[in-house]
Structure 1
Amino acid sequence: MKIRRLQKALCCDVAQNTFEQHKLTNNSHLLSVPDVINCLTSIYDGLEQEHKDLVNVPLCVDIGRSGKIRVLSMKIGLLSLSKGHLEEKYKYLFSQVASAGDTCDQRQLGLLLHEAIQIPRQLGEVAAFGGSNIEPSVRSCFQHVR
């Protein structure tokens, strides 16, 4: 339900602004659970102001976990679950793995797809998306480009 609530209320631009506000620019940087909670609290605080009856911030950010997550993983997860135009999401996600010249090689695309498949994998639905092996998809994408 937390994910669905986020999906219904979070806009792409709010997510992107939160990433900037928390200076999440280095996509390979690791975030600890308190860092993730801090970022999510910012998002849900903003959503609570718009939807007081739908959002309970302490309940939404109650994460009883330990460990770390890459900035890129969090960005892809939150942006994938936000509402917004699909083309806008694709552009932003591409920009997160692209080189300075707005190009993407097989390794970069593989990284993006690997991170994106983690959502259905965590939900036990990875088989519906062809499994977790992203290499055939990456090869297929690059068969028709130079």
Structure 2
Amino acid sequence: SVYTYTYTIDVTTLPVVPANASSTVECLSDATQPTAPVVTDVCGNDITPVITENADPICEGDKIYTFTYTDCAGNEVIYTYTYTIDVTSLPVVPANASSTVECLADVTQPTAPVVTDVCGNDITPVITENVDP
């Protein structure tokens, strides 16, 4: 005679991820993909996450990295890391300049100085002029 004992493996315990995290930076270049947290399934096996990210904000906004962990039973948990891009530093512009000319015909639009934001991005100036005297 044969005696059979069967184990049914039914993984219902979700993997545990740390609390979502965030930080604030001034430049998108500082919003680098963080290291993925180590997450294990209920049996202690490491789970490799699928990492996705949202589109880069144009200037300010959130850069979000999403880490999706799925165990062998299809149980899925998500960890997110959010960078808030918040530019607080003003660009540095050179001191105002001037020159003296004798004739209005000698007045030409000067070349705008190169100005960058705190992250090194060029800022395009809006140039205005007063009405001719």
Instruction: State the TM-score, normalized to the length of structure 2.
Output: 0.23
Point out the structure with the larger strand share.
2
Q: TM-score, normalised by structure 1?
A: 0.21
Greater helix content: 1
